[in-house]
Structure 1
Amino acid sequence: MSRRATIRTDHDDATLVARALDPDNTDEMTTTVERDGVADGTDGDGDRTGTVVTRIDRETTSGLQSTVDDYVVNLAVAIDIASQAQLVQDDRPTDTGPVSDTDTDSDTTHNE
């Protein structure tokens, strides 16, 4: 008999949280993102707010407990990563303009 757990957490950037969790997922785990109750995977399509849904299926109760414990720790780290990434993204200008607004004063000709 298999043991199962489903963990649902709401996030401002659910896709980013799901992507941060993905490397730590085992074969017994699946993580998806739901928006308005509809699963849309983890590829993102504009609206960031959603629910990260992780399903864990293990053969033993102790194995399920261990996996859920590990997942909760990984989730906390993923949330920290997502919040830090949002801070960095929000600090960057959306239009950087030309690569250089001034002429260079260095000599670009080569005299032999």
Structure 2
Amino acid sequence: MKRANVETTHADAATIAAALRPDNTPSMSTRVDGDVVRTQIERETTGGLQSSVDDYVVNLTVAETVARTTREHRSNHE
């Protein structure tokens, strides 16, 4: 089994993790520790692991962009 651990820090880690979880496959687990999102991905092959990590990073980028845009929008309207 091949394994990757991805750890990222966010201003609202719980929101980012919640946005990521619906796209997680059964071979992925995501948890939050303070401001850190920790995701473990396991796959049978290196190619499968790479594909899953690539997809995860794209989803993570979208989630972070949406969260940041929402924070900025809120601060501009307060």
What is the TM-score with the length of structure 2 in the denominator?
Answer: 0.90
Give 1:91 shift: 4.2
Number of aligned pairs? 78
Counting aligned pairs with the same residue, the percent is 49
Cα deviation 1:1-51 (Å, max 9, x = unaligned)? x1100000011111111111111111110111112xxxxxxxxxxxxxx00
Determine the C-alpha separation between the residues in 2 that align with 1:15 and 1:92.
23
Alignment check: 8 A CA contact 1:20 1:81 kept? no
* Greater relative contact order (Cα < 8 A, sep 6+): 2
Please identify which structure carries the higher helix content: 2
1:72 matched to which residue of 2? 57
Greater strand content: 2
Structure 1 stretches of 4+ with a deviation exceeding 2 A read 87-93
Gaps of 5+ in 1: 36-49, 94-112
Q: How far apart are the structure 2 equivalents of 1:3 and 1:77?
A: 25
- Paired letter, 1:27: P
How much has 1:92 moved relative to structure 2? 4.9
Aligned-CA RMSD value: 1.3
